[in-house]
Structure 1
Amino acid sequence: MKVIISILVALLFLSACTNEVKPEQKVKVINGCASSNISISDIKGLKKSDGFMKAQVKGYNSSSSYELLEYRIIWLDGDGFKIDSILSKWISVPSYAEQTFYINAISPSTKAKTFRIYIRKEKEVICNQQSDGL
């Protein structure tokens, strides 16, 4: 009987010592992602089954007018080195008045492990974030 009580006390003691493991942060904020009219609500990255990485950004234009935005994605390998690509250029994306907009991109190489995204409006950077795609 003493053995059973000792085991129960030991289990109770050990369960009190467990640490809660928080999930690793997937988006690293380098700079804020907001302007007076444009807000970014979600940035996702995932590794597809074919080995390429997919990036998706969700934003909202709260103004009453159309805004033409530009984005640029820099893809990085597992060591943090830039993967050179013609796809890492500024690309236009429409942002209609009082509507949600999406930006989708696929990495140029299966070596991509993270990405950094820049979004600008009229040459003004409004978003600079990095995602590891986990």
Structure 2
Amino acid sequence: MLFTAARRGDVVALGRQHIRNGVIAWIPEKTKRNRSDPVFVEIVEPLRTAIEAGPAGNLTFLLAEYGAPFSAAGYGWTTLGQASTYVRWANNKRLAAGAVRLIGETACEQSVPLGGTDAVPLDGTD
């Protein structure tokens, strides 16, 4: 589903019912609550070929190993270890961003002398 630019949560739900006149149309799950503007993507030849060649189910293009539709959480990873690695990475990134924000707030609260009696001379003498 490379040529759709759909998010993982959307691509696992896409199926033939979303195709009309050479266009795939769907409402993204992530923004469904806030607005209901559909996304329209023209089906280019490589995507058309993949859809026609692939084992599509009744309601989804993508099927798991046993013929059932993928879940959003399971699509894209082949093992639970891969999912676990991604979750750890995402959590570390979120924690790092929070730490940077806290450091920035702390630095803004503290004042550093720029001169005057507390300043250290540039030549290293006291």
Q: TM-score, normalised by structure 1?
A: 0.21
**Bigger RCO (CA 8 Å, 6+ sep):** 1
Higher helix fraction (1 or 2): 2
Compare CA radii of gyration and give the structure with the larger one. Answer: 2
Higher strand fraction (1 or 2): 1
